[in-house]
Amino acid sequence: MAEVINPAIVPKVTLPSGEQVPCVGMGTFGSDRVSAEDVSAAVAGAIRSGYRMFDCAACYGNEHEIGQVFKDAFDEGVVERKDLFIMTKVWNDMHRRVEEACDKSIKDLQCDYVDMYFIHWPFPNYHAPGCDVDSRNPDSRPFFAEEYMQVWRQCERLVELGLVRHIGMSNMTIPKLEAVLPQCRIRPAAIEMELHPGFQQPELFAYVQEHGMVPIGYCPIGSPSRPERDRTAEDVADTQMPEIVKIAEAHQVHPAIVCIKWAVQNGQIPIPFSVKPAQYLENLRCAVTDPLTEEEMEMIRRADKNCRLVKGQVFLWPGASDWKDLWDEDGTICGWEEKGTC
């Protein structure tokens, strides 16, 4: 019989509403490499292994298959709908039709409602699945708070309609959050962001927590299977960082497990992805066994390389310099003064 981690013993993180959710979820992005069938099979196995949080997205191209897994789990009595925390996101090409996008995700996921609905990226810039790093949409444009708030108002409406229980933002920066948070009628419950030992984003992480939102970390082990378009020669492999390897040897675990332990103990919700049962089981089990020491946590904190892996080049607009323009690295929003300029 396959091993099961009792969901009741998995530590919880408290949302602004007071609701408690698991400290580890499962991602479902196949990185343009894994089929929808393989991802959904992993979700089925993960539910039976004890996972209760799943991070989905319309653009991943697998919500229909995952939805059949959810329905089967409900019908077979493996789990009740109320016991799963299902998250998904509106894709960039649906910013003007958020309710329509949400309805489709709910139908595809066969889940009646969504627990957390994110704006996937803070601009409407669209790219096709599987595109390469040089792909550009000539209609792309930079972030504008007014446009973003039009999308957010539609998300707030989803809460009012009972289609979603919480709403969140993703791939934001402090300047962008500063521009929109004061305008929110319903504040985001969570911010999804790239977080791993080699890219800890301490300023943004602290800002999110200080403003009462929960950080949810994607790429928690450094996303070794991320698309080619997001790879550069300067990238750091988290599982090869000397500090991570040393701690892994001390705990007799794979370095990836150290990354997830660090994330949980650091206060974020990591959402690792794997289609291998042994891996996704261990990703959950590590949250309830053999914690890292304070000294090891400090060693990892000091090891931060500030190495962003998901750069987002395909979202650049005409006139932008490079991918750093997406992330407001100088503390100002690129393109704020005049569309298409920095």
Catalytic residues: 60
Please report, as a single letter, which amino acid is at residue 183: Q
Token output for 175: 């300047």
Q: Give the SS3 label for residue 235.
A: coil
- For 38, list phi and psi in degrees, rounded to 5: -70, -40
Check: CB of residue 76 under 8 Å from CB of residue 118: no
Tokens of 133: 């790093």
CA torsion sign, 131 to 134 to 139 to 141?
A: positive
Tokens 């409407």 belong to 124
Bridge-partner residues for 236, per DSSP? none
Give the ranges where 181-325 is alpha helix by DSSP (H): 202-210, 242-251, 255-266, 277-285, 294-302
- The two tokens of residue 242 are 């000397």
